[in-house]
Amino acid sequence: MTAGDKLSILAVFTEGLLSFLSPCVLPLIPLYISYLTADARTVNEEGETEYKRGRVLLLTLCFVLGISLTFVILGFSATRIGSLLSEYSEILGLFGGLILIFFAFVQLEIIRVPFFEKTGRLPFDPGKGMSLFKAFLMGFVFSFAWTPCVGPLLGNVLLLMTADPANGYRYLLFYALGFLLPFLFLGLFTQLGLKLIKEHKGIMKYTLKIAAVILLGFGIWMTWQNTEKIVSMKRELDNASQQTATAFNFSQAELKDHLGNTHKLADYKGDLVFLNFSTTWCTYCRQEIPYYQEFLKKHDLTGFYIMNNTANGMPESAIAEYAEENGVEVPILIDSDDNFFRYFRIGSYPTLFVIDENGDVLGYITGMLDEQGFEDLLANIQAQ
């Protein structure tokens, strides 16, 4: 475990503790404790309230298990979503960091959102007596009484879980420990705990501010870390693409067309060769087909279409169907490895490259050409 992981675990544990001490939770504790201890509370001869520690602890454990069920449900959902979106973890982490920064500004009251200032409660009436099952159920119901001010703290943990499903439960575990350990303390030392809550309610006005600072730190850290990852990945992809393009000899590469015939541009040395990069979904490419084919026939020129699966978004078999449906007679070369698309840096469709008689790239033009457009292009080539 790295130092950064340890710091993150300490931070989420602190967030759990601050959630317990927040204005959403702390004022509700005496109410729920009074429900839990209804059967375990007595008054001695001196008028002092006493609690049966063993019974209270057992009921509190069941109460905590009820709350824990909510954590398990939320944790499963977050990791499940994270597994589905693992391919986009860096982007998810970047936006998650920005969301946390927003939540931090809300809790610091730099940004005001009325929804986050509301307090909601779900009253629970245990009826006659308090059984272990009722205590468990009350804990589960209590979890729904968390108002939006706890949401950003718990949301931070769920964002960490979604961005890192493999280690996400570790964050949720320590957040849950920070939140639930005070309940167990109350189960052991009920009278002392309630007294401390009564005497130190003023601490609530600081808890959200401290939590906001932690959220802000998490948000900045997640944003910076994932931005750095995205920039690094882009740099690596650019370098790999550049190395591939530098090493790739397009004139010697062999490509099969949509009819299964093999072509190598070096075999057409001495001729002008037109390479028309296209896709099956491009409307302008489809409209250009008759002009391109008539141009090649009229001047007895060599020309090809080039397509790949990446740009088409469909299997190679669809290319042959496309050719038949649109009356394509020009061979469609299938760039299965994307080498031609990367080498020629294709970003728009159609894009027409012209290879001269020596096998060198003479130039290119993007966008659809009509009959006159092709004639003007040939005239410019012959004038050079």
In tens, the pLDDT along 53-110 reads 677 778 778 877 887 787 777 767 666 665 555 556 667 667 767 776 777 787 677 7
Distance CA 351, CA 347 (A): 8
pLDDT-derived band at 49 (thresholds 50, 70, 90) equals low
pLDDT at 301: 95
Has residue 267 got a pLDDT over 50?
A: yes
Peptide bond into 331 cis (omega under 30): no
Has residue 122 got a pLDDT over 70?
A: no
Q: What is the pLDDT of residues 276-308, one digit of tens each?
A: 999 999 999 999 999 999 999 999 999 999 998
Instruction: Identify whether the C-beta of residue 51 lies closer than 8 Å to the C-beta of residue 189.
Output: no
Mean pLDDT value across the chain? 76
pLDDT at 327: 93
Which CATH superfamily groups domain 254-383? Glutaredoxin (3.40.30.10)
- Percent residues over pLDDT 90 in the chain: 21
pLDDT at 333: 94
pLDDT-derived band at 147 (thresholds 50, 70, 90) equals very low
What are the sequence ranges of the domains in the chain? 3-236, 254-383
| Dihedral pair phi/psi, residue 146, rounded to 5° | -65, 125
Distance CA 219, CA 94 (A): 9
Name the residue type at position 305.
Y
- Percent residues over pLDDT 70 in the chain: 62
Range of weakest confidence among 72-76, 154-158, 192-196, 242-246: 242-246
Has residue 225 got a pLDDT over 50?
A: yes
pLDDT at 379: 92
Q: What is the pLDDT of residues 155-187, one digit of tens each?
A: 667 766 666 666 667 777 887 888 788 877 877
pLDDT-derived band at 129 (thresholds 50, 70, 90) equals low
Q: Average pLDDT of 249-255?
A: 87
Range of weakest confidence among 26-30, 218-222, 237-241, 277-281: 237-241
Has residue 263 got a pLDDT over 70?
A: yes
Has residue 275 got a pLDDT over 90?
A: yes
Strand partners, 41: 51
Instruction: Identify whether the C-beta of residue 61 lies closer than 8 Å to the C-beta of residue 134.
Output: no
Q: In this structure, how many other beta carbons lie within 10 angstroms of the beta carbon of residue 179?
A: 27
pLDDT-derived band at 375 (thresholds 50, 70, 90) equals very high
Has residue 126 got a pLDDT over 60?
A: no
Distance CA 113, CA 149 (A): 11
pTM of the prediction? 0.43
Instruction: Identify whether the C-beta of residue 96 lies closer than 8 Å to the C-beta of residue 90.
Output: no
37 versus 315: the higher-pLDDT residue is: 315
322 versus 157: the higher-pLDDT residue is: 322
